[in-house]
Amino acid sequence: MLDEKQVKKWIYYFGYGKEDAQGDPSILGNKGYGLARMSSLGFPIPPGFTIITEGCSYYGQQGPTSAIWDQVVAALKGLEEATGKHFGAGPFPLLLSVRSGAKTSMPGMMDTLLNLGLNDATTELLGHATQDFRFAYDSYRRFIEMYGSLIMGIDYHLFVAVMERMQTVEQAHDAAGLSLDALHTVIDGYKKIILDHTGTTYPQDPFEQLKKAIAAIFASWNSPRAVTYRRLNHIEDQRGTAVTIQAMVFGNRGVDSLTGVLFTRNPSTGARSLFGEYLINAQGEELVSGLVTPRQVTKEGREAIQDPQEALEEKYPVVFSELSGLAMALEHHFAEMQDIEYTVEQGKVWLLQARNGKRSASAAVKIAVDMMQEGKIDACEVLKRIDYEQIERLLHPTLDADQTIEVLTQGLPAAPGVVSGAIAFTPEEVEHLSKNEHVILVREETSPDDIGSMAMAVGILTTKGGMTAHAAVVARGMGKPCVCGAQAITIDRQSSTLVIGQTKMKRGSYLTINGTTGEVIKGKVATVRPKPFPEFVTFMGLVDQSKRMEVRANAETVQDATVALSFGIAGIGLCRTEHMFFHADRMCLFRKMILTSCKAARADILTELKVVQKSDFIALFQILDGLPITVRLLDPPLHEFLPSQDIAELALQVGLPLDEVTKRMAQLAEVNPMLGNRGVRLAITFPEIYVMQLEALFEAALAVKQVALEIMLPLVFDAKEVVLLKKIIEEVYQKTAPQIRYKVGIMIELPRAALQAAILAPLVDFFSIGTNDLTQTTLGISRDDGAKFLDCYQQKGLLQADPFVTLDQEGVGELIQMAVARGRSANPNLKIGVCGEHGGDPASIAFFDSIGIDYISCSPYRVPIAKLAAAKVVAGH
Amino acid sequence: MLDEKQVKKWIYYFGYGKEDAQGDPSILGNKGYGLARMSSLGFPIPPGFTIITEGCSYYGQQGPTSAIWDQVVAALKGLEEATGKHFGAGPFPLLLSVRSGAKTSMPGMMDTLLNLGLNDATTELLGHATQDFRFAYDSYRRFIEMYGSLIMGIDYHLFVAVMERMQTVEQAHDAAGLSLDALHTVIDGYKKIILDHTGTTYPQDPFEQLKKAIAAIFASWNSPRAVTYRRLNHIEDQRGTAVTIQAMVFGNRGVDSLTGVLFTRNPSTGARSLFGEYLINAQGEELVSGLVTPRQVTKEGREAIQDPQEALEEKYPVVFSELSGLAMALEHHFAEMQDIEYTVEQGKVWLLQARNGKRSASAAVKIAVDMMQEGKIDACEVLKRIDYEQIERLLHPTLDADQTIEVLTQGLPAAPGVVSGAIAFTPEEVEHLSKNEHVILVREETSPDDIGSMAMAVGILTTKGGMTAHAAVVARGMGKPCVCGAQAITIDRQSSTLVIGQTKMKRGSYLTINGTTGEVIKGKVATVRPKPFPEFVTFMGLVDQSKRMEVRANAETVQDATVALSFGIAGIGLCRTEHMFFHADRMCLFRKMILTSCKAARADILTELKVVQKSDFIALFQILDGLPITVRLLDPPLHEFLPSQDIAELALQVGLPLDEVTKRMAQLAEVNPMLGNRGVRLAITFPEIYVMQLEALFEAALAVKQVALEIMLPLVFDAKEVVLLKKIIEEVYQKTAPQIRYKVGIMIELPRAALQAAILAPLVDFFSIGTNDLTQTTLGISRDDGAKFLDCYQQKGLLQADPFVTLDQEGVGELIQMAVARGRSANPNLKIGVCGEHGGDPASIAFFDSIGIDYISCSPYRVPIAKLAAAKVVAGH
């Protein structure tokens, strides 16, 4: 007997009156824990036991030491007693299912080995004991298949080929149709495959089989695929996989035996009806393999797909009744939609596994909202159950799964959604091609110069740049799918061709990008765009009630603002006035203004620009109907408005001499534009542009009246700048619209501004933390250039996440906290928001909530995600 | 009588038993204060009084109100009593000298008006009283000249022309040689000039003369020239000018009268001998005007310039004896070399002014050191008396003042020294021209690509960039004169011409730049390079004893290190290893390494580069002989090593296909290189380069043995980087030189590194604050681009100083303080230095001392300045 005080407990039992209730998923794995749980609740579970997850690393270091093995042997004894069967011996040999199960289920790890314990002798014994030699040898061939492929590493398809050959010979539909003789031939064929490929055979000793199976499962934890999966999915807090060893029950013991899966609700639609499949006279892995077509569990399900085969509900109503009762009890108990594996052995129902079922995004929302309305869960739990990816999937077109696609390469999933279009490499090509078809703009990287063509394209693909490069930011803002940094792609401008590995594609060829996954796919594909539905609306209402922070949108066009308003916003948190110059006709005017050296000409152009900017503001103010709008005055360096090529054409376009344009462009060129003449610095060096913008703003406000106007100054680093700018604003205000109310605020996007917050705060009504620029300057990383090494940093474990996606809380976060604390101490009425990409990132949003930020602002299509994040943090998730 | 309790006291007396001892220079101006001081000490001073500086603004607001004027009239009464003369009346009319004098003497302000009180009537009275009508009318014509030009604004040269005409007529050498008749004719001529130019005449009423003179002096305080001078010289704490009114004494009263100046030591050499000049029968302004050649005061002085005219010492030994006694007494009293104005009237010596004498840089050092050795002042006072410009002037060639120059424009004084050379616009031109002559490289801005040609050129002139742009930094490091940001210059590449206003200069034309003043001068000029001398060595010894902080130099070549060692350094604080690749042959290798995609080829090149880098390190280690050297591993982005033009030539040079080079360059290009793939990031993305550098370092250290090696990592932002890099360093170390000791430190040059100091400090031995990059990131200003708007910021009063020259203490300074405090709290043994431009800036150095920085490091030629600053701050200056 084990002295539990002295000896480490490696084994937890379930299913035969010896459940160890103390286990949890981190110790028992999700599978072992679920079985123990069900067993203790009285569900019909085949008895068994679990080697705990800690065994995984112990095994890795020590090999199959006696400590664990002794306890396995002892546990087997107990299992023999509980089942009345004997492992490796008659009269009724005990067979085992051996399964892996980590805390989080993990593709890439070995999964299940069935019928372990069979060898030439025990198979004969099993035939005698069950009086069913066909069943016994069917089980045996299944064992050899699985042992051979999973433990000995032989290609599974070799076994399948033998089976299929025999089915052809015997004219059988499936394995169940084979005769005993045929099975013997198959088994001989299997043995020959193993001998041919390994020079040896599988162990006849069941204990040896078990030892090897345990070792293989533990080893699979560290297989390259499993390691990669954990890294990619940030699963790093786990000890290893557990191994669950369970007495076999048999779905392949004749026509009153079957095996199947069952969902308590429809995983695709979320509808409140059972959904499942089954196979008669079969074992579970056949269902998984996809080699045979299963039948439907419910009549409704059968009718939905017009399946001619009888549903379980129709063919075995008693079994169905028992099974559906068990399923509903499980759902009730776990208060979650259950995905159940079951086997019926000669009429007796056994549950082999129950877990929370995977489901589509819309099903997730419907089920959570339904369960809340059924009183099964509370609002807080609803918020917890819906994740950001689901919301994202609900908002963007997704790939229709029913098709074959050829993935050419993978870039960064920069802006979600799937879209197909003809390849265009230049703005001119976009303009030309987009007259007749959808176009995908493919560039090394984009610049503000490309905005027009980005607007015309249906999607953007770049070979450089990261998740927050220009292309990505603009694409997300526009709600267009975008894949960035697809480094395997080379663009050959001369021949207007892109090259990915061996594939060459000319301009005009069709390409698909999946901005949700980063995949670049050859040709056109079919997509589906999910529709909003009542439960989604209910869910978002719940979100709105739960969050503390306000959520605003970054928008500068009526189109963007309309999208944002449709998601329900507290206002516009960032209206980038320079975006208003991006239309082709305005761009030309703006360029002319920058390039002319004639003061009078510049004044005339500014007057023209004022007219268009004013009308844009009027349209925005009208649609906002009194909601606040934070208007940021011109921010980027002026040369960003100029094309980098075709200066001759530019000169022609703006009607200025080429040498004058060349000279002016040289004057404007900057080595590090991000740290150059931009933001309020433009108001110091070119005051007339800001004055024009202010006039347009105040005149528009005066025209609309119902406006909550907030004027925002970018790139401030010193109080003197604010004092000067406030004076300029006040002068224009007094001159144009002294009866309109307005607020003035500044971006906190330079470290010095954060440090100086106490001096800046009393001068303004609000701070808006510009986390993009603040990250760039605090870390010294240009987001346009960072992709080149940030990838490398992440691979080498130097960075957990891209700091332009998820806020660097330690560094940038400390500066923000400083700005908040110092700002509020000096001006208790100060309102503090966050604009910039991090305003739409859940991890960052949780941080912003924790430090008392008043509102976040993000791109329109990100609003629901941001809201959910703001709600989740309040709910404590 | 004045009731001093009720009435504001505008007047302070001196020289007639009524000195007001309470005055100080800010109230009395430097002139009035000096006179009051001398008077109270018993020196022979003509009596007078001073209208205090506060009168200046009062006068400006109120006009000549009775409050001040009444007190002037009352004071005049006292003066009449003290002198026995009468203002505007006989028998002996009182004449006045009226002089301005602010706390700091100031060119651009009106200076001196003599003989005030003369008119047609009082001149006759004066002739009668002195029995010398020639003297009286000579004084009158002097009065009219000065009143006409200074008060009435008539061109002085018009009067001079009349005088000179008359001297020609009378064949007189000077004014003293004119007859009385001639003087009458001159005075008539003067009166006509005034009438012709103003339509009126000067006031005959002496009180009116005085009123106007006072008003004019007060008004001159706000003349544009005076205002500009104050702004440029940061003189902003002053109330205004005082007006000193003093009884005239006459150096023009015959051959026993004279006037002159006297320095108590030689202002040019600092020698301990009197130095001065005098004019017989003349008034002081003649000396100033430079129209006549004065005689020497001492025999020694006369002999030195081989002047045939007798010295004062020879001609008037009694006067000389009295005067030299007074001079030495003054020097003794003020413990400073004095610049004395004196007049001898009929044998009686009067002192008109004594002030600390201006002197050359070398004289300043010699005098201060001599005086210390004479026991007149202490070491602290010596430190106070020598300023940075003087040290700078002692180190760099300066313009020979004895020549006429044509200043074409003014840029920024980026690296001190004067140099002439032929204009070259490209590296190729430099290479070509420099074979035969000195060359000045003229570029819009420079890049690392230009290093070779900068080394070949004698000076650098750029049209863009600020005091810390690449050109400036490199030039200072090389000790070469440099003028940056000369925006008025346009370079026309096509015609190889530069244009400044109307002047066009071709390639090869001669140009001179004065890096000390920023002047760009046409043609060649003569320069003088001061030599070190014993007192300078003594002075620097004193500096070394006084400072707390260590001073190191930034150097990477034996040449630089030798210069630095000659100034006495505590080690090399920054050895930028990339500079070692700047020689043409190494550059080619390095480029090839960057550009080749063949791994094996790259490894071969790195091996070659290691050889040269190792030999460079050996040479440096040897010359340092055990002094510490901080070696910074590769810092700049790789593409900085590639030329921006002539890619075809580059391909040829490195022997790679053009399309491969083009492709690779596109891959390496960055939008914001300052925030790109550089610093330790290179060690993450291209580990082999750092490994090569480390091998070279350790192997060199092993070869030399006596080495205090400090390895420094640039651009760190996170502890994980340091951990990884330390591992790499340790691996190379164990493999190459495990018996050598070394330290590891990091640059603190990103805000995040400063914030994370407590986490970083325990990992390293030292921090080196990189203030250049820290300023760029904290303020979000690229130093290469900032010049464009920083000028504008300074003009509009938004910035006191260029933050790349003088540290921004509020913003960047707070981060540095944080880094110091957090770093030391986590690692008490942490050594903290500053490298970067601010390490050589006195104002910044004072701050670094105040926050407990251990050492500063600057370019070799800046070392003496840095030391002096470090000493001054300890001495409390």
Residue B104 has pLDDT above 90, yes or no: no
> Residue B529 has what pLDDT?
61
Q: Report the alpha-carbon distance of residue B100 to residue A474 in Å, rounded.
A: 66
Average pLDDT over residues A625-648: 89
pLDDT per residue as tens digits for the range B487-533? 889 998 888 999 998 899 999 999 999 987 889 999 999 887 666 78
Contact state of A785 with B749 under an 8 Å Cβ cutoff = no
Give, as one character, the DSSP assignment of residue B506: E
**Phi and psi torsions of B439, nearest 5°:** -130, 140
* Residue with more model confidence, A867 or B229: A867
Of A676, A718, A778, the CB nearest to B752: A778
**Cα→Cα distances A448→A469, A485, A750, B676, Å:** 11, 18, 22, 20
Average pLDDT over residues A790-799: 90
Q: Report the alpha-carbon distance of residue A254 to residue A241 in Å, rounded.
A: 34
pLDDT per residue as tens digits for the range B369-379? 999 999 999 99
Distance from CA of B864 to the nearest CA of A (A): 32
Beta-bridge partners for A550: A855
Max mean pLDDT range (A308-312, A647-651, B636-640):
A308-312
Distance of CA B510 to the CA centre of its chain: 26
Q: Report the alpha-carbon distance of residue B205 to residue B481 in Å, rounded.
A: 57
Average pLDDT over residues A723-738: 96
Residue with tokens 């480490």: A8
Residue B290 has pLDDT above 60, yes or no: no
Q: Report the alpha-carbon distance of residue B288 to residue B282 in Å, rounded.
A: 11
* Residue with more model confidence, A177 or A817: A817
Contact state of B811 with A666 under an 8 Å Cβ cutoff = no
Q: How confident is the model at residue B803 (pLDDT cuts 50, 70, 90)?
A: very high
Of A720, A751, A779, the CB nearest to B815: A751
Cβ atoms B5, B14 nearer than 8 A: no
Q: Which of A56, A482, A835, A858 is catalytic?
A: A835
Beta-bridge partners for B632: B576, B712
Average pLDDT over residues A457-470: 80
Distance from CA of A54 to the nearest CA of B (A): 29
Distance from CA of A517 to the nearest CA of B (A): 24
Q: How confident is the model at residue A187 (pLDDT cuts 50, 70, 90)?
A: very high
> Residue B549 has what pLDDT?
97
**Cα→Cα distances B407→B443, B518, B519, Å:** 19, 10, 6
Return all residues near A68 (Cβ < 8 A) that are at least 6 apart.
A10, A51, A55, A58, A59, A214
The maximal CA–CA distance of chain A, rounded, in angstroms, is 107
Chain B contact set for A718 (CB, 8 A): 798-799, 811
Distance from CA of A561 to the nearest CA of B (A): 31
Q: Which of A86, A396, A470, A838 is catalytic?
A: A470
Contact state of A681 with B812 under an 8 Å Cβ cutoff = no
Distance from CA of B773 to the nearest CA of A (A): 9
**Cα→Cα distances A711→A719, B41, B53, Å:** 16, 66, 47
Cβ atoms A68, A188 nearer than 8 A: no
Task: Return the minimum-mean-pLDDT range out of A857-871, B225-239, B404-418.
Answer: B225-239
Residue A85 has pLDDT above 50, yes or no: yes
Q: Is B858 a catalytic residue?
A: no
pLDDT per residue as tens digits for the range B778-800? 999 999 889 889 988 988 889 98
Contact state of A671 with B670 under an 8 Å Cβ cutoff = no
Residue B647 has pLDDT above 50, yes or no: yes
Give this prediction's pTM: 0.78
pLDDT per residue as tens digits for the range B252-283? 999 999 999 899 998 878 999 998 889 999 98
Of B784, B789, B797, the CB nearest to A672: B784
Mutate to test the interface with B, among A779, A783, A817 (most CBs of B within 10 A): A779
Q: For every residue of B838-859, which 3-state class applies, written as one string? A: HHHCHHHHHHHHHCCCCEEEEC
Contact state of B724 with A798 under an 8 Å Cβ cutoff = yes
Reduce the DSSP state of residue B782 to 3 states and report it: coil
Residue B17 has pLDDT above 80, yes or no: no
3-state percent helix, strand, coil for chain B, nearest multiple of 5:
50, 20, 35
Q: Report the alpha-carbon distance of residue A507 to residue A426 in Å, rounded.
A: 10
Which conformational region is residue A63 in: left (phi greater than 0), alpha (psi within -120 to 50 degrees), or beta? left
> Residue A4 has what pLDDT?
46
Contact state of A789 with B685 under an 8 Å Cβ cutoff = yes
Of A444, A685, A793, the CB nearest to B792: A685
Mutate to test the interface with B, among A715, A755, A784, A817 (most CBs of B within 10 A): A755
Beta-bridge partners for B628: B708
Distance of CA B679 to the CA centre of its chain: 35
**Phi and psi torsions of B772, nearest 5°:** -65, -55
DSSP secondary structure letters along B587-611: HHHHHHHHH---HHHHHHHHHHHHH
pLDDT per residue as tens digits for the range B432-472? 888 889 999 999 888 767 877 888 899 999 988 666 567 87
Average pLDDT over residues B563-569: 92
User: Percentage of residues in chain A with pLDDT exceeding 70?
Assistant: 96
pLDDT per residue as tens digits for the range A667-722? 888 989 999 999 999 999 999 999 999 999 999 999 998 999 999 999 999 999 99
> Residue B424 has what pLDDT?
95
Q: Which two tokens stand for residue A48?
A: 């068994």
Distance from CA of B538 to the nearest CA of A (A): 43
pLDDT per residue as tens digits for the range B587-630? 888 999 989 888 888 999 999 999 999 999 999 999 999 999 99
> Residue A159 has what pLDDT?
93
Chain A contact set for B793 (CB, 8 A): 684
DSSP strand pairing (A742-748 vs A766-770): parallel
Average pLDDT over residues A827-834: 98
Of B674, B717, B808, the CB nearest to A675: B674
Q: Could you check whether the bond before residue A448 is cis, i.e. omega within 30 degrees of 0? A: no
Query: Nearest residue of A to residue B492 by CA position?
Result: A663
Distance from CA of A755 to the nearest CA of B (A): 6
Average pLDDT over residues A108-112: 74
Task: Return the minimum-mean-pLDDT range out of A82-96, B62-76, B156-170, B748-762.
Answer: B62-76
Query: Nearest residue of A to residue B445 by CA position?
Result: A671
Residue B701 has pLDDT above 50, yes or no: yes
Mutate to test the interface with B, among A667, A785, A793, A808 (most CBs of B within 10 A): A785
Residue with tokens 């009549």: A299
> Residue A237 has what pLDDT?
65
Distance of CA B117 to the CA centre of its chain: 42
Q: Could you check whether the bond before residue A64 is cis, i.e. omega within 30 degrees of 0? A: no
Q: What is the CA radius of gyration of chain A?
A: 33
Residue B4 has pLDDT above 50, yes or no: no
**Cα→Cα distances A238→A54, A157, A226, A242, A518, Å:** 9, 33, 12, 11, 28
End-to-end CA, chain B? 45
Give, as one character, the DSSP assignment of residue B836: S
Q: Which of B470, B579, B639, B838 is catalytic?
A: B470
**Burial class of residue B655 in the structure, from the number of CB atoms within 10 Å of its CB (0-12 exposed, 13-18 middle, 19+ buried):** exposed
Q: Report the alpha-carbon distance of residue A66 to residue A55 in Å, rounded.
A: 12
Task: Return the minimum-mean-pLDDT range out of A32-46, A274-288, A797-811, A825-839.
Answer: A274-288
Q: For every residue of A718-765, which 3-state class applies, written as one string? A: CHHHHHHHHHHHHHHHHHHCCCCCEEEEEEECCHHHHHCHHHHHHHCC
Q: Report the alpha-carbon distance of residue B119 to residue B199 in Å, rounded.
A: 19
Chain B contact set for A676 (CB, 8 A): 782, 785-786, 788
Contact state of B811 with A756 under an 8 Å Cβ cutoff = yes
Average pLDDT over residues A100-105: 86
> Residue A610 has what pLDDT?
95
* Residue with more model confidence, B437 or B477: B437
Counted across chains A and B, CB pairs separated by less than 8 A come out at 170
| Overall residue count recorded for chain A in this entry | 877
Of A685, A777, A797, the CB nearest to B751: A777
Q: How confident is the model at residue A3 (pLDDT cuts 50, 70, 90)?
A: very low
Chain B contact set for A789 (CB, 8 A): 677, 681, 684-685
Distance from CA of B123 to the nearest CA of A (A): 59
B455, B461, B426: which is closest to B440 by C-alpha? B461
Q: How confident is the model at residue B868 (pLDDT cuts 50, 70, 90)?
A: very high
Of A751, A778, A796, the CB nearest to B684: A796
Reduce the DSSP state of residue A87 to 3 states and report it: strand
Q: Is B598 a catalytic residue?
A: no
Residue with tokens 């004062």: B312
Of A675, A718, A721, the CB nearest to B782: A675
Q: Report the alpha-carbon distance of residue A574 to residue A731 in Å, rounded.
A: 24
* Residue with more model confidence, A450 or A48: A48
**Beta-carbon neighbour count of residue B17 at 10 Å?**
10
Chain A contact set for B778 (CB, 8 A): 750-752, 755, 777
Q: Report the alpha-carbon distance of residue A806 to residue A808 in Å, rounded.
A: 6
Q: Report the alpha-carbon distance of residue A631 to residue A697 in Å, rounded.
A: 9
Mutate to test the interface with A, among B463, B680, B681 (most CBs of A within 10 A): B681
Q: How confident is the model at residue A21 (pLDDT cuts 50, 70, 90)?
A: low
Q: In what order do the strands lie in the sheet with A497-500?
A: A489-492, A497-500, A503-506
Q: Which of B484, B575, B835, B858 is catalytic?
A: B835
A177, A174, A154: which is closest to A164 by C-alpha? A174
**Cα→Cα distances B756→B101, B633, B722, Å:** 54, 21, 12
Q: How confident is the model at residue A620 (pLDDT cuts 50, 70, 90)?
A: very high
Q: Report the alpha-carbon distance of residue B332 to residue B321 in Å, rounded.
A: 16
A244, A239, A245: which is closest to A60 by C-alpha? A239
End-to-end CA, chain A? 45
| Mean model confidence pLDDT for chain A | 90
Q: In what order do the strands lie in the sheet with B242-247?
A: B11-14, B48-51, B242-247, B96-101, B112-116
DSSP secondary structure letters along B545-569: HH-SSEEEEE--SHHHHHHHHHT--
B172, B223, B164, B212: which is closest to B189 by C-alpha? B164
Q: For every residue of B97-162, which 3-state class applies, written as one string? A: EEEEECCCCCCCCCCEEEEECCCHHHHHHHHHHHCCHHHHHHHHHHHHHHHHHHHCCCCHHHHHHH
